Structure 1
Amino acid sequence: MKNKKNIILLAIAIFIVILFGLYRYYIYTMQDQWSEEEMAIAAAKQHSDLIKVTRTEKSVWDNVVWVIEGKDKDDRSLFVWVPFTIAYKDDETSGAKDSEYKVDETSGAIHSELLENGLSESQIKAKILNELPNIKEIRLQLGLFNGNNVWQLFYREQDHYYYRFYKFSDGTQLGEQYTLPNR
Structure 2
Amino acid sequence: MSVQRIIMMVAIVIIALVTAALLYYQSIQKPLWNHESDIAAKARDEAQLVKIDEIYKYVWDSPMWVVKGKTDAGDEQYVWMDQDGNVVLTLQAAEQISKDSVVQLFMQSHSGASIIRMQPAYVNNTPAWEIYFSQDGKYSYSFYSFHDGSFMDEYHLTGKTAS
Please indicate the TM-score interval, normalised by the length of the shorter structure.
Answer: 0.7 to 0.9
Q: Deviations over 1:130-162 (max 9, x none)?
A: 233342222211111111111011122324322
Query: Which secondary structure does the structure 1 equivalent of 2:158 belong to?
Result: coil
Q: Deviations over 1:149-179 (max 9, x none)?
A: 11011122324322121111111222x3212
- RMSD across aligned positions (CA): 1.8
Q: Is the 8 A contact 1:118 1:168 kept in 2?
A: yes
Identity %: 22
Q: Which residue of 1 aligns with 2:149?
A: 171
How many pairs are equivalent? 160
TM-score (norm. length: structure 2)? 0.88
Question: Could you tell me which amino acid in structure 2 is paired with residue 114 of structure 1?
Answer: Q
Higher relative contact order (CA 8 A, sep 6+): 1
Q: Is the 8 A contact 1:43 1:82 kept in 2?
A: no
Q: Which residue of 2 aligns with 1:42?
A: 41
Residues of 1 paired with 2:97 and 2:88: CA distance? 19
Residue 129 (structure 1) aligned with residue 128 (structure 2): no
Query: How far apart are residue 104 of structure 1 and its match?
Result: 4.7
With over 3 angstroms needed to count, the CA separation of the structure-2 counterparts of 1:161 and 1:7, relative to structure 1, is closer
TM-score (norm. length: structure 1)? 0.79
Q: Is the 8 A contact 1:70 1:77 kept in 2?
A: yes
| Match for residue 125 of structure 2 among 137, 140, 147 | 147
Q: Is the 8 A contact 2:39 2:85 kept in 1?
A: no
